[in-house]
Amino acid sequence: MKSFSIALKNIKKSKDDYSVYFFTLIIGVSIFYMFNAIGTQGVMEDVSKSTNSSVGLLVNIIKIVSVLVAFVLGLLIIYANNFLIKRRKKEFGIYMLLGMSKKKVSKIIVNETGLVGILSLGVGLVIGIFGSQFLSIIVTKMFEVDVTNYRFTVSIKAIIMTVVSYAVIYLVVFIFNTRTVSRNKLIDLINAEKKSEKQILKNKTMSIILFILAICGLAIALVRIGFYGGDVKRNEFITLFFVGIIGTFVLFWSISGFLQEALSSSKTFYRKGLNSFVIRQFTGNINSSAFSMALITLMLFAALSLFSTGFSIRAYLNKRLGNATPVDVTIMTDKDPVEDVFEEKGLSLNEIMDEYIELPIYESPEITLADTLGEFKQNASETFRAARWESPEYVMGLSDYNKIQNLYDREEIKLTDSQYAVISDFELLNTYNEMALKAGTEIEVGENTLSPAYDKPIEEYMMMSGMTASMGVVVVPDYIIEDEESQFTIDSYFLAGDYKVKTREEKYAVDNRLEETFGNADEGAIDENGDIYYPIMYSTKNQVKDNSVGTSVIVVFIILYIGIVFVIACAAIIALKILSDSIDSTKKFDILKRIGAGSGMRRRAVFAQVLMNFLLPLIFASLYTVFGLRYIKQMLKAFGLVSMGSGIIVTFIIMLIIYGGYFLMTYENCRRIVKA
């Protein structure tokens, strides 16, 4: 019989036992193609035109991330293939015993691997091609681009990239498989099934000691980073990081002995039903796969953190975007009125703008950030170590600020003659602003003493932005600026309004004209003292929307790409290990059946064993994520993000679908293998 025919029959024979392997290959190929095809979809050209570099940046980041994804998928395929080959060593030995040469056995393996690779690659590409159409439509919807010109597109570049990546991976698999046969003796292949997996740590006392040490080390690292991460210096953070990694590996090397001792101490529980059998099976599996279980835990932790953080950032950006663009453009100039700055550049403000307001913004040496924070400046100094507390704050008269409120369709603020208000949407600074305002911190301006009108800052903005924009504006009664004229100087001018043109395309044209005239407003100039200042700052409605949506899309797609691949890799490794152990356990389950264990008991035993193997790394990864997100939340507070709730909910749904799906598929296959 030809080696190709044998290979084809072997694939048909093993398709049920190793369905998880085939499924993982197909999903891996489809995901790899879908994300790498984003930039080449037809409708994406319209997105690129309307959102500047957002799509291009997304495509470039995906290309870089694809290297990591290909590496992870490559390791997964090699790891999974290793299990398949190990379980079939006896079969290969029988071939050789019947007179087949090692060369021909290797040829059968190469044919099998090649057929599986081609089959999974073909099916995966077909699924990926159709899936990429939906993915591109989702992107265009997020960018609010019309999809009436949609056309079905196949990305040749993405196909080539996918095929080349998987060809390299399978070349390594070919080499590995042929070496497995050529380097093993016939007797080793025949007796492969009789060799049990090596137990790493057999001494129960040592297991318990190492487990306690690992738990202590992890507790210190997690609590220190989670609760006091803001105070942790770089060297200490690196040390704690490695303590966490090493502690995780030691934890899984030692946990089997600890669990065996702890669970068996309750005789009633241990001897009930098939509990003793399940516990011994489970702890033995954990002991023999401690390294992979620790690695899976760390990868799940990375995926959970990515999902939670990424989707929380997206929800925050979308929330801010909802009321972040009340006008077409906001402009702030340094010292000179906006109209004068426009005239210097040959532009007519009246030709561009329809309804608008232009207002002066003042500063006073008597109203600084230190003055408004009062006794709480020291508290803020611990967070903002480089802040210039004696720098003057922006100051506006009440009537001027209420003009902005009316234009933005917001409620006017009210002050008495002896009151002031703080306007700020900088969440982290507002923590200290609120302390000072609740304490009734007074500010002195000439002969006038002003007290807070509100017990917390008004979380509003002047300049439009997708992120936190305003460090703070102090609003005072108009007479303060008029009567104490010598105390105030004009710091800048602020303009907000709508263009005369109305369509989206026409407004983009005006935006482009501003950029051509004034350049990138984010790039400041250098004054004679070497400090950065901004002669003109502007932000447009289209710019804010595009940047926010572009950032949101990039964050979502990158975390989905990496996170899903990580979760699939983790779930597939656990599933393949359990399936492999199930094949080894068929005789044990036969014995259970003969001594009277009913099918219900055997099914429950399989379910419990599979569940515990999937749950253990997930439990520790979830625990790490709780502390990790506390640290991440502290870091992101500076940008205004204070809630992780939405990200955690989405993460739970994704994990339920992917991780839960693999669990159910593994349970059904295991139940069938052991005939429970």
Question: Facing residues of 538 across strands?
Answer: 331
In this prediction, residue 208 has a pLDDT band, given cuts at 50, 70 and 90, of confident
Write down the pLDDT at residue 86: 67
Helical (H) or strand (E) element with 84: helix 54-87
**What's the pLDDT at 147?**
53
Q: pLDDT value at position 634?
A: 76
Q: What is the mean pLDDT of the chain?
A: 80
What is the crossing angle of helices 19-36 and 541-584, to 10°? 160
What is the distance between the alpha carbons of residues 284 and 612, in angstroms, rounded to a whole number? 12
Q: What is the mean pLDDT of residues 388-392?
A: 84
Directed axis angle between helix 102-142 and helix 89-97, to 10°? 150
- Tell me the mean pLDDT in the region 284-289: 77
| Residue 452 pLDDT | 94
Identify the DSSP state of 344: H
Q: Name which residue leads in pLDDT, 506 or 84.
A: 506
In angstroms, rounded to a whole number, what is the distance separating the alpha carbons of residues 50 and 600?
61
pLDDT band, very low/low/confident/very high, at 534 (cuts 50, 70, 90): low
Ranked by mean pLDDT, the top range of 127-136, 326-335, 400-409, 541-550 is 400-409
In order of 206, 217, 258, 302, 545, the CA distances from 250 in angstroms are: 11, 10, 12, 19, 48
**Pairwise pLDDT comparison (455 vs 46), residue with the higher score:** 455
Residue 80: band (very low, low, confident or very high) from pLDDT cuts 50, 70, 90: confident
The residue with greater pLDDT, 637 or 363, is 363
Give the pLDDT score at 417.
92
For residue 442, is pLDDT > 90? yes
Res 406 pLDDT > 70: yes
Reading the block at residue 235, the tokens are 């060297």
CA 356 and chain centroid, separation: 40
Name the CA dihedral angle for 111, 129, 82, 175, rounded to a multiple of 10 degrees.
Answer: 50
Strand order in the sheet with 419-423: 443-445, 448-452, 419-423, 473-476, 394-397, 353-363, 489-499, 329-334, 536-540
pLDDT at position 183: 66
pLDDT of 451 strictly over 90? yes
> At 41, is the secondary structure helix, strand, or coil?
coil
Structure tokens, 662: 């693999």
Cβ atoms of residues 422 and 437 within 8 Å = yes
What integer pLDDT is reported at residue 471 of this predicted model? 61
Whether 612 contacts 263, CB under 8 Å: no
Tell me the average pLDDT across 271-290: 80
Highest-scoring range by mean pLDDT, 222-231, 236-245, 467-476:
236-245
Of 42 and 268, the structure prediction assigns the larger pLDDT to 268
Predicted pLDDT at 508: 86
Q: What is the mean pLDDT of residues 563-578?
A: 87
Residue 553 token pair: 């899309």
Q: 191-200, 201-210, 347-356, 664-673: which range is least confident on average?
A: 191-200
pLDDT at 219: 92
| Residues 443 and 362: beta-carbon distance below 8 Å | no
In terms of Cα–Cα distance, which of 292, 196, 279 is closest to 253?
292
> Cβ atoms within 10 A of the Cβ of 36, count?
26
The span from the CA of 52 to the CA of 550, in Å, is 9
9: helix, coil or strand? helix
For residue 186, what pLDDT is reported?
Answer: 59
User: How does DSSP assign 486-536, residue by residue?
Assistant: GG-EEEEEEEEEEES--SHHHHHHHHHHHHHHH--TTS-EE-TTS-EE-SE
Spatial contact of 169 and 24, defined as CB atoms under 8 Å apart:
no
Neighbours of 95 (CB within 10 A): 19
Whole-model pTM? Answer: 0.75
Per-residue pLDDT band for 269 (boundaries 50, 70, 90) equals confident
Rounded Cα distance, 269 and 276, in Å: 8
* 188 vs 116 pLDDT, higher one: 116
Mean pLDDT value across residues 367-373: 89
Phi, psi torsion values for 365, nearest 5 degrees: -65, -15
Positive or negative, the CA dihedral 662, 667, 670, 675 is: negative
Rounded mean pLDDT of 418-428?
88
| Residue at 441: amino acid letter | T
Which residues make beta-bridge pairs with 338? none
pLDDT number for residue 476 = 94
Beta-carbon contacts of residue 627 (< 8 Å; ≥ 6 apart): 222, 223, 225, 226, 227
pLDDT at position 402, please? Answer: 95
User: Mean pLDDT lowest for which of 84-88, 411-415, 505-509, 547-551?
Assistant: 84-88
In percent, the amount of the chain with pLDDT more than 70 equals 81
The confidence score (pLDDT) of residue 276 equals: 83
Quick one: CA dihedral 568, 59, 317, 237, positive or negative? positive
- Helices and strands in the chain, H and E counts: 25, 11
Given a cut of 80, whether residue 293 has pLDDT beyond it is yes
Higher pLDDT, 524 or 251: 251
Q: Read off the pLDDT of residues 98-122 as tens digits, 9 standing for 90 and up.
A: 677 767 777 777 777 777 778 888 8
What pLDDT, on a 0 to 100 scale, did the predictor assign at position 48? Answer: 52
pLDDT at 15 over 70: no
Buried b vs exposed e over 212-247: b needs ≥16 C-beta within 10 Å? eebbebbeebbebbbeebeeeeeeeeeebeebbeeb
> What percent of the chain has pLDDT above 90?
19
Helix (H, G, I), strand (E, B) or coil at 33: helix
Report helix, strand and coil shares of the chain as percent, to nearest 5: 70, 10, 20
Within the chain, what is the greatest distance between any pair of CA atoms? Answer: 108
Q: Give the model's pLDDT for residue 516.
A: 85
> What's the confidence (pLDDT) of residue 537?
86
pLDDT category of residue 157 using cuts at 50, 70 and 90: confident
Sequence-distant (≥ 6) Cβ neighbours of residue 23 within 8 angstroms: 665
200 has a pLDDT exceeding 60: no
Contact assessment for residue 309 and residue 644, using Cβ atoms and an 8 Å cutoff: yes
Q: Where does residue 652 rank: exposed (0-12), middle (13-18), buried (19+ CB within 10 A)?
A: middle
Would the pLDDT of 555 be above 90?
Answer: no
Interacting residues of 233 by C-beta distance below 8 A, sequence separation 6+: none
Closest CA to 426 of 458, 397, 464, 451: 458
Neighbours of 263 (CB within 10 A): 17
> DSSP secondary-structure letter at 40?
G
The arithmetic mean of pLDDT across residues 479-484, rounded, is: 89
The residue whose two tokens read 């040469």 is 101
Q: What integer pLDDT is reported at residue 193 of this predicted model?
A: 55
The 3-state DSSP class for residue 474 equals: strand
- pLDDT, residue 83, reads 67
How many Cα neighbours within 13 Å face the side chain of 611? Answer: 8
What pLDDT does residue 203 have? 67
Q: Which of 400, 481, 489, 494 is nearest to 445 (CA)?
A: 481
Average pLDDT on 108-137 reads 81
pLDDT score for 512: 87
Burial of 250 by CB count in 10 Å (0-12 exposed, 13-18 middle, 19+ buried)? buried
Span between the terminal Cα atoms of the chain, in Å: 36
HSE (side-chain half, CA atoms, 13 Å) at 48: 14
Is pLDDT larger for residue 195 or for residue 461?
461
Q: Per-residue pLDDT averaged across 518-545, rounded?
A: 66
pLDDT for 84 beyond 60? yes
In this model, does residue 310 exceed pLDDT 70?
yes
Chain segment 624-662, per-residue pLDDT in tens:
999 988 888 877 766 656 566 667 888 888 888 889 889
- Please say if the pLDDT value at position 8 is more than 60: yes
pLDDT bucket at 565, cuts 50 / 70 / 90: confident
